[in-house]
Amino acid sequence: MKKKRPSSPKRKKSTSAKKPFRKRLRYPVLLACLFALTGMLLYCLFLAALIDKRFSGRRWSIPSKVYSDSTLLYPGQHLDKELLVKKLKNLGYRASESSVDQKGRYAVAPDGIRIYLHDLVTASQRRPGFPVHIRMDGTIIASITDLEYGEPVAVLEIEPEEIMLFYGAERERRKLVSIDRVPQHLIHAVLAAEDRRFYSHFGVDPRGILRAIYTNLRHGGIRAGGSTITQQLAKCYFLTPERTLIRKCKELFIALTMEAMYEKNIILEIYLNEIYLGQQGSVSINGIGEAAQFYFGKAAEHLSIAESATLAGLIKAPNLYSPYSHKERSLQRRNSVLNAMHTNNWLYAADLHKALQTHLETVGYAVRQRQAGYFIDYVSGQLKNLYSADDLASLGLSIYTSLDTWVQSAAEKALSNGLARLEETNPSLLRAEPGRRLQGAIIVMQPRTGAIRALVGGRNYAESQFNRITQARRQPGSAFKPLVYATALDSFTPSTLVSNAEKTYTVDGTPWTPDNFSEVLAETLPLRDAIAGSVNRPAVAVAMQAGLDNIIQTARTMGITTEFKPYPSLALGSFEVIPLELARAYCCFAADGMLPYPLAVKDVVNDRGSVLQRTHIEIVQAVSPAKAFIMNSLLKSVVTDGTARSLHDLDITFPAAGKTGTTDNYRDAWFIGYTPDLLALIWVGFDDGTSIQATGAGAAVPIWAELMSALTPHISGSWFMPPPGIVQKVICPQTGMLAKSETCPNPGKEYFIENLAPSKPCRRPHTKNPLHKIMKGIHGIFKKR
């Protein structure tokens, strides 16, 4: 029997050698894992600091918005119903056939218009929307009734229009919403579309990832994604859109870190405000709040179930499922989201059926052209003295201005029509090159407040951004004469006879003889007739007696800053002025002598509703109320009997005052006209000073007439009342003294500053005219009848 062979010592040795190797391997692996975990922890801490910095500061750059003034309507006011409908459309209102059952709807009827107003939010008030009926009697508002309570409304305020946004480089529109004000069905729609297990996973959903892999394998392509809402937020908020493994790992770590740091509702709120949901021209629509306005013209809190499902369906591919460009595809996607809501028990069967039957109706939109470009540039210049460009593009300020969009549209139309008429009448004014075309400018102001209601700085903003109201310096011609006569009212009266004699003045050793525009034979003229007819020689004579330095001082007091020299030609407007400053000076006459500040920016409000800037109107007493009243009376004669008397033929029936102006060789044509309610300055000319071959009366007055005819709702038809210190006397027009009824021909009433009123009767031996006596007797007979 053989003995068992002993085991090989080598095999024993090799077995015993394996144990130390495993032990040696265990420690490096544990160390490597420890380093990896430490690295991941440090990376997560780094991410936590990054996330906290982003989320604790300003999360988004919200462009500041510029608004027009609100619109006031009241019984007795003239109203163009078509213009009102146009304004409502600009404000996002939608037409209805008859009833107005929700905010943002209007219905036009033969007897007027019904409107369910939006909520009104301005710097000074917040008012919930309510339904009203504006009943019309022809073109007059007969009554305004609150349809909710059946009560009359004395004054109805319609919200301001958004006229501009200060975009940053991203050009994003976003209206922030709070998760507390978002309807539950909107949240359920988003979860059904993007992440139904959002409230149960920890930022990453393994089940969702596996489900997406299975779906994609089954269809042989990418049909589903496994990203949670938290991952989507991590990707669009912190990462670039590149598709790499490293970026995906970063996304996972950021999602996990966010979930560890913040509650689910905070993450969802940030997501709802961040997501990209469409495009309006070059501007992206971001967030549920902005999308609700863009697609449905309402706040997110008022979205219906069907509308909420439509927006939720957009998240996957906003341009592919846009209800504007792909309505059928959008409808199918909406219905898919609605069915998913029902599957997840977030929607009752009855509500599902109702929502599926709902038509997909959007508010509609058009890429609107830049509004009131010259006015916006003027406002921007003022704002940039207070805020940087970055602040305006990111702080979400609301900037409320004085602009009236109705007045602005009327001004733009009147200028365009007026310049086209001039070119049609005189084809030599036509220019092919945009930079050399005939130009014009208009500014409309409220005289007492200085509020700029419209500003048109040129014929076409796209062709030329040069603002001829605020930047140009032009000779005013005879439009400067009112400042001369205002200075002279310390010693002159409307009936003072002023010299029309030819006279030569010496200026720096050079003789200068002013001529009248047309022949005037009389050697003297009453001051009223001299200004009404814009006669040059009397203006220079008055200026020399009043004192050229005094006239310059008057111009400075009335807000004109350009350089003047004490030359006799100053009286004829030979020195340049800025049109805005000239308009402001005329406001002084219509405001009882008070010089208003040109008001464009009224209030600046931050994104929390607090007023940051409020323009305090600085008003200076430039001339006395008595002098201002006399100037209004004198300038009214320009309209009734003088160079602007053609206004009567142009259907201007309300009382107005104003002054024409024409410069040498017809380089500039002016008319500044006003009522107690509105003042409008019109300028026409070429930028290079080429002759326009027309006077202020021929070129500017018709434009003013067309503009003011369109603004009858803003014009009361009232006139200035005499202030204390004004008296009225019956005078002899040939002497300016108190008239003798028996001897003075054509005596008339005249206004005077009390201490300058004539006290002595006329002593001139007037020639007795038998025909005059006969006509006077006939007049007496008719008077008795």
DSSP states along 735-783: TSSBPPTTTSSS-EEEEEEGGGS--SB----PPP-HHHHHHHHHHHHHH
Q: Amino acid identity, residue 191?
A: L
Q: Which two tokens stand for residue 498?
A: 């002023």
Element (H, E) at 578: none
pLDDT at 239: 66
- 478 in catalytic set: yes
Residues 291, 295: Cα–Cα separation, whole Å: 6
Element (H, E) at 110: none
Residues 424, 476: Cα–Cα separation, whole Å: 25
pLDDT at 253: 75
Nearest to 272 by CA among 230, 209, 319, 324: 230
The torsion defined by the Cα of 598, 600, 604 and 609, in degrees rounded to 10, comes to: 120
Query: For residue 148, what are the contacts with CB-CB under 8 A and spacing of at least 6?
Result: 130, 131
Query: For residue 192, what are the contacts with CB-CB under 8 A and spacing of at least 6?
Result: 312, 337, 340, 341, 343, 344, 346
Nearest to 467 by CA among 386, 385, 382: 382
Query: For residue 442, what are the contacts with CB-CB under 8 A and spacing of at least 6?
Result: 411, 414, 415, 454, 455, 456, 469, 680, 681, 682, 683, 703, 707
Query: For residue 85, what are the contacts with CB-CB under 8 A and spacing of at least 6?
Result: 106, 108, 113
The torsion defined by the Cα of 56, 59, 63 and 67, in degrees rounded to 10, comes to: -60
Q: With 0-12 CB in 10 A as exposed, 13-18 as middle and 19+ as buried, what is 568?
A: buried
Point out the catalytic residue in the list 194, 251, 307, 412: 194
Q: Which two tokens stand for residue 543?
A: 């200026």
Q: With 0-12 CB in 10 A as exposed, 13-18 as middle and 19+ as buried, what is 195?
A: buried
Judge contact between 157 and 135, C-beta under 8 A: no
List alpha helices for 205-296, DSSP H.
206-219, 229-238, 245-261, 264-274, 288-296
Q: Which two tokens stand for residue 423?
A: 């070119």
pLDDT at 282: 81
pLDDT at 99: 80
Judge contact between 568 and 544, C-beta under 8 A: yes
* Sign of the dihedral defined by the CA atoms of residues 324, 330, 335, 339, in that order: negative
Tell how strand 679-685 and strand 668-674 pair up. Answer: antiparallel
Nearest to 566 by CA among 515, 507, 488, 513: 507
**pTM for the whole thing?**
0.85
At residue 631's C-alpha, the angle toward residues 630 and 634, to 5°, is: 90
Judge contact between 631 and 531, C-beta under 8 A: no
Q: Amino acid identity, residue 341?
A: M
* Sign of the dihedral defined by the CA atoms of residues 634, 637, 642, 644, in that order: positive
Residues 289, 312: Cα–Cα separation, whole Å: 12
The three-class DSSP label of residue 400 is strand
Give bridge partners of residue 279 from the DSSP assignment.
284
Element (H, E) at 729: strand 726-731
In the block, residue with structure tokens 């020299």? 565
- Buried-exposed string 336-346: b where 16+ CB fall within 10 A, e elsewhere: bbbbbbbeeeb
Element counts in the chain: helices (H) and strands (E)? 22, 31
- 148 in catalytic set: no
Element (H, E) at 164: strand 162-166
Q: Amino acid identity, residue 282?
A: S
The distance of Cα 668 from the centroid of its chain, to the nearest Å, equals 29
Residues 91, 83: Cα–Cα separation, whole Å: 12
Residues 294, 174: Cα–Cα separation, whole Å: 10
* SS (HEC) of 273-306: HHCEEEEECCEEEECHHHHHHHHHCCCHHHCCHH
Q: Amino acid identity, residue 172?
A: E
pLDDT at 211: 65
Judge contact between 477 and 534, C-beta under 8 A: no
Nearest to 461 by CA among 408, 392, 421: 408
Judge contact between 432 and 438, C-beta under 8 A: no
How far apart, in Å, are the Cα atoms of 345 and each of 150, 192, 278, 338, 349? 43, 10, 29, 11, 9
Point out the catalytic residue in the list 478, 495, 534, 633: 478
* SS (HEC) of 304-359: CHHHHHHHHHHCCCCCCCCCCCCHHHHHHHHHHHHHHHHHCCCCCHHHHHHHHCCC
The three-class DSSP label of residue 495 is coil
Residues 716, 655: Cα–Cα separation, whole Å: 10
Element (H, E) at 514: none
In the block, residue with structure tokens 């028990």? 345
Q: With 0-12 CB in 10 A as exposed, 13-18 as middle and 19+ as buried, what is 635?
A: buried
Residues 426, 424: Cα–Cα separation, whole Å: 6
In the block, residue with structure tokens 């939720």? 312
Residues 527, 638: Cα–Cα separation, whole Å: 12
Residues 625, 631: Cα–Cα separation, whole Å: 10
Residues 699, 540: Cα–Cα separation, whole Å: 25
pLDDT at 521: 83
The residues of the chain scoring below 70 in pLDDT are 1-27, 29, 31-32, 35-36, 39-40, 42-49, 52-54, 57-58, 208-226, 239-247, 366-369, 616-617, 741-742, 767-785
Residues 564, 586: Cα–Cα separation, whole Å: 18
